[in-house]
Amino acid sequence: MDIHFFKKFIQGGIKMKIELVKSLEIPEIKVIRFSRFLDHRGYFTESYSLRDFSPIKNEIGDWQVCQMNESFSKEHTIRGLHFQWNPYMGKLVRTINGHMIDLILDIRLESPTFGKIIAYNMPSELTDVFNEWIWIPPGFAHGNIFIRDTVIQYLCSGEYSQGCEAGISPLAKDIDWSLCDSILKNMFFTIKYRADLKITDKDKNGFSLEQWKLNDNSKNFMYGNL
């Protein structure tokens, strides 16, 4: 994994703003760690700043925030795997408080990792000295599982477009889990088979990979054209 460190001068000394950027098993997926500044009152952080994200454009591309969403999910919830075209929507996602495991599935036709899913563990406590974003560019279906009651936030590079969005069922049997961390994979399947699993019918009954490949809209996600 490639790691780049960035420092920011603040009055009174040098403090880390963006601490690191790293690639995951599918290198287009990036994790951005940033500092929280704690004291006896609590903490302060700039969770997003155009100024501080500008130096990492080579890592995550040059895009603008068009929409900001917040979501609360109860323990043992599975969401996803969602994606959109016309306009495309990249997502910068973080856990505000709770425990999310993020899920990212490659849906780019002819991609060497098409159909493969990865996961990233994103717990967050209010006493943590850092927080993390995960960047999911267009060409990937996105979802999450929640180990406990959790609040998340995501910044989007495109506004929601009804009729130009779809989903792969996270329960689809033809998803390839071979790249996924085995511990996180097991956590997913443990929740999947729980009697108290919370998932919408829309997500549960989403496309399988094979069904999506046969859908004309899949051609909006050609490897190398995004």
Active-site option among 82, 88, 120, 142: 82
Closest CA to 78 of 119, 19, 127: 119
Which residue, 89, 115, 110, 87, is CA-closest to 219?
110
Of the candidates 92, 93, 97, 90, the one whose C-alpha atom is nearest the C-alpha of residue 73 is 97
Task: Specify whether 99 is catalytic.
Answer: no
Q: Are 164 and 82 in contact (CB under 8 A)?
A: no
- 82 catalytic residue (yes or no): yes
Backbone angles phi and psi of 84, in degrees to 5:
-150, 150
Whether 199 and 78 have beta carbons less than 8 Å apart is answered as yes
Q: Which of 99, 120, 142, 154 is catalytic?
A: 154
Residues with a known catalytic role = 82, 154
